[in-house]
């Protein structure tokens, strides 16, 4: 007859499984929940700090293997769940509980900020997170087209109800004015539009609010950073030199605003041709160089893919429409890296501004 299986033995086995980002084991991190033993069957839940955890499958497998080595254990059932930590920043203006807010910016136009924002939101929502996307490009809103959304649900009293697409909530000036109508606004109006998008929209509880910024280092970023304490910002650049110069301006702007930089994404990095050759249309390696030169994380490269553009024009983000493409895979990996970094920062440096997330 086998020994009685004890909780101590199971926790001891699980304390040998490390979370690679947080550099501690699952037991120390309090990630093991609902531990139950029924005869020779053991079940428990691993509570991750983000559903988009890059080590989800690895942790599940290692935890299972660790418990299987215990004498007498015949079956292990691992449930994966998550509880995204709040970054600890006060969001008084926003009456809704938004746990983390991530801005996507660049110094330059047309580098793929909106594309990246939309696909990060899709990837986070697909992982099971509660996600909102705010299109802060008040003058040139592109997010509605990229998601195929044409209108908002009717408001409830004075509160705007965000649109729903691909499992997340979205608000954009493009849904509040007639298509094609020019938006000629002045600074203070822009400021109040951004504040309204935060304060007057019924976001509900969100794990992540993604903010798609307009090009440049102008008023919108300033208004945003003042209205909404940001967990961090990601900078999108092309590999070429002129784009990098603009990207470093964007980087410096966030530094001035005391917004932590989560990292740099290089978009349109290369084009893979059907004959197997690779073309560096906009140069190569610039994003990594900029990251190195500025002591910033490099989050990854996204190749040129015509389905990114087609999907953007037709409301079908590549992560949803071509999930196995290299571009979608890269966007998912970038999303997981960002989610992990945000969780690590939230857990390790609560209430400390600015946070230095660079490892």
Ligand X SMILES: Nc1ncnc2c1ncn2[C@@H]1O[C@H](COP(=O)(O)OP(=O)(O)OP(=O)(O)O)[C@@H](O)[C@H]1O
Residues in contact with Mg ion by the rule CB under 5 A: 113-114, 142
Q: Which is nearer to Mg ion, 267 or 296 (CB)?
A: 267
- Give 132 or 141: the residue with its C-beta nearer to ligand X: 141
Task: Report the residue number, 223 or 343, with the smaller CB distance to Mg ion.
Answer: 223
Tell me the closest approach of the beta carbon of residue 302 to ligand X, in angstroms: 5
- Dist. CA 288–CA 298, nearest whole Å: 6
What one-character-per-residue DSSP string does 220-269 give? HHHHHHHHS--SEEEEEE-SSHHHHHHHHHHHHHHHHTTPPEEEEEEES-
Is there binding between residue 16 and ligand X (CB under 6 A)? no
Within a 13 Å sphere around the CA of 98, how many CA atoms are in the beta-carbon half?
29
Q: Under the criterion CB under 6 A, does residue 309 sit at the interface with ligand X?
A: yes
CA-wise closest residue to 254 among 292, 225, 285? 225
Binding of ligand X by 336 (CB under 6 A): no
Nearer to ligand X by C-beta: 231 or 267?
Answer: 267
Dihedrals phi, psi of 340, to nearest 5 degrees: -65, -45
Rule CB under 6 A: say whether 248 interacts with ligand X: no
Strands 75-82 and 41-48: parallel
Q: Which of 114, 126, 221, 343 binds ligand X (CB under 6 A)?
A: 114
> Do the strands 41-48 and 32-38 form a parallel or antiparallel pair, or are they unpaired?
antiparallel
Q: Is 327 in the site for ligand X (CB under 6 A)?
A: yes
Contact predicate 2/71, CB 8 Å: yes
Measured from the CB atom, the residue of 106 and 296 that comes closer to ligand X is 106
Which token pair is 58? 């690895």
112 or 132, CB closer to ligand X?
A: 112
Among 13, 101, 131, 268, indicate the residue that binds ligand X (CB under 6 A): 268
Stretch that binds ligand X, among 50-58, 75-83, 273-281, 297-305 (CB under 6 A): 297-305
Q: Please identify which residue in 46, 52, 201, 308 interacts with ligand X, judged by CB under 6 A.
A: 308
Minimum distance from residue 117 beta carbon to ligand X (Å) = 8
Token reading at 163 = 């649109």
- How are beta strands 24-25 and 18-19 bridged, if at all? antiparallel
Considering only 111-119, 126-134, 182-190, 278-286, which stretch makes contact with ligand X by CB under 6 A? 111-119
Q: Which is nearer to ligand X, 113 or 130 (CB)?
A: 113
Q: Does 305 bind ligand X (CB under 6 A)?
A: yes
Q: Taking CB positions, which residue lies at the least distance from Mg ion?
A: 114
Q: Total number of residues binding ligand X (CB under 6 A)?
A: 21
Query: Smallest distance from the beta carbon of 342 to ligand X, in angstroms?
Result: 21
Task: Look at residue 133 and give its three-state secondary structure.
Answer: strand
Q: Which two tokens stand for residue 115?
A: 């594309």
Cβ neighbors of 17 (< 8 A, separation 6 or more) are 25, 26, 59, 62, 63, 66
- CA 312, CA 306: separation in Å to the nearest integer? 10
| Tokens of residue 154, six digits | 């009717």
Q: Which is nearer to ligand X, 50 or 267 (CB)?
A: 267
- In angstroms, give the least distance from the CB of 104 to ligand X: 8
Which residues sit at the interface with ligand X, rule CB under 6 A?
Answer: 109-115, 137, 140, 142, 214-215, 267-268, 302, 304-305, 308-309, 312, 327
């Amino acid at each position: 007859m086998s020994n009685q299986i004890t909780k101590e033995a199971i926790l001891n086995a699980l304390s040998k499984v490390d979370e690679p980002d947080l550099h501690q084991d699952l037991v120390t991190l309090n990630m093991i929940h609902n531990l139950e033993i029924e005869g020779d069957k053991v079940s428990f839940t691993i509570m991750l700090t983000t559903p988009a955890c890059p080590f989800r499958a690895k942790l599940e497998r290692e935890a299972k293997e660790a418990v299987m080595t215990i004498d007498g254990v015949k079956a292990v059932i691992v449930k994966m769940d998550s509880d995204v930590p709040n970054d600890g920043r006060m969001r008084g203006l926003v009456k809704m509980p938004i746990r983390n807010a991530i801005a996507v910016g660049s110094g330059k136009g047309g580098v793929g900020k909106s594309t990246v924002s939309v696909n990060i939101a899709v990837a986070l929502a697909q992982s099971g997170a509660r996600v909102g996307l705010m299109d802060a490009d008040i003058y040139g809103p592109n997010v509605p087209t990229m998601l195929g959304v044409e209108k908002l649900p009717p408001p409830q009293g004075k509160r705007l109800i965000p649109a729903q697409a691909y499992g997340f909530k979205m608000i954009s000036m493009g849904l509040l004015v007639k298509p094609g109508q020019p938006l000629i606004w002045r600074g203070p109006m822009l400021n109040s539009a951004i504040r309204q998008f935060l304060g007057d929209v019924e976001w509900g509880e969100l794990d992540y609010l993604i903010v798609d910024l307009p090009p440049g280092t102008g008023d919108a970023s300033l208004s945003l950073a003042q209205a909404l304490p940001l967990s961090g910002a990601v900078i999108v650049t092309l590999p070429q030199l002129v784009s990098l110069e603009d990207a470093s301006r964007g980087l410096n702007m966030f530094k001035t605003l005391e917004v932590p930089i989560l990292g740099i994404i290089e978009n349109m990095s290369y084009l893979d041709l059907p004959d197997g050759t690779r073309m560096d249309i906009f140069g190569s390696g610039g994003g990594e160089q900029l990251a190195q030169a500025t002591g910033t994380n490099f989050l990854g490269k996204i190749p040129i893919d015509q389905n990114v553009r087609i999907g953007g024009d037709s409301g079908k983000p590549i992560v949803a429409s071509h999930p196995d493409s290299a571009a979608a895979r890269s966007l998912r990996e970038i999303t997981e890296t960002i989610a992990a970094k945000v969780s690590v920062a939230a857990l390790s440096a609560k209430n400390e501004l600015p946070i230095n997330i660079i490892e």
